[in-house]
Amino acid sequence: MAASFIDKRISPHFFLSEFLVTQHRELNNTPPPELMDNCYFLADRMEIIRSALNNAPITATSVYRSPAVNRAVGGSIDSDHMKFLACDFICPSFGTPLEICRFIDTMGCRELFRFDQLIYEFTWVHIGFKRTIPMRQQVMTVQQTAGQRPTYINGLPK
């Protein structure tokens, strides 16, 4: 992957390199060109979220995943990460992942963001989008048991 491609700014506050980060550096995580429209779409959505979070810096922890990276992390076989339509992130200067999820779950934010899925994953927030309307606006919490695939329950912890 050419350095100039990786260093490309995709929105006012995000670079492509941030959206390609993976702990599995040995695996190719180059997105196919046909997904770049989704990349820009997602970056636009993340700019809206950043603005709503008092313009606090967002750190993307997992955005695009190639099929190989998705398998390595145990992602769903139809993960929106592989379509460049999901972002796992933190925003420490705004609050904890749970505080962020609760904020996004407010009706005003639901209208502003129009997300497909919002998942509280304990140490990060997962937000997914679709390119078509309507989006489901599902709000869930991950449930993880050691050695098993995660399951999800509706809603956020009280």
Residues 31, 63 contacting (CB under 8 angstroms) = no
Residues 129 and 116: their CA atoms lie apart, in Å, by 5
Q: Which domains can be identified in the chain, with CATH numbers? A: 15-22+29-154 (3.30.1380.10)
Number of other CB atoms surrounding residue 52 within 10 Å: 18
How far apart CA 79 and CA 65 sit, in angstroms, is: 9
Query: What pLDDT does residue 156 have?
Result: 96
What is the pLDDT, as a whole number, of residue 4? 59
Supply the pLDDT for residue 6: 64
| E-only strand ranges, 38-90 | 59-62, 86-90
Backbone dihedral angles phi then psi of residue 113, each to the nearest 5 degrees: -85, -40
In degrees and rounded to multiples of 5, residue 61 shows phi and psi of -100, -25
Report whether 95 contacts 57 (CB < 8 A).
no
Residues of the chain with pLDDT under 50: 1, 3
Query: For residue 7, what pLDDT is reported?
Result: 77
Q: And the tokens for 73?
A: 């992390």
Report the C-alpha gap between 155 and 135 in whole angstroms. 16
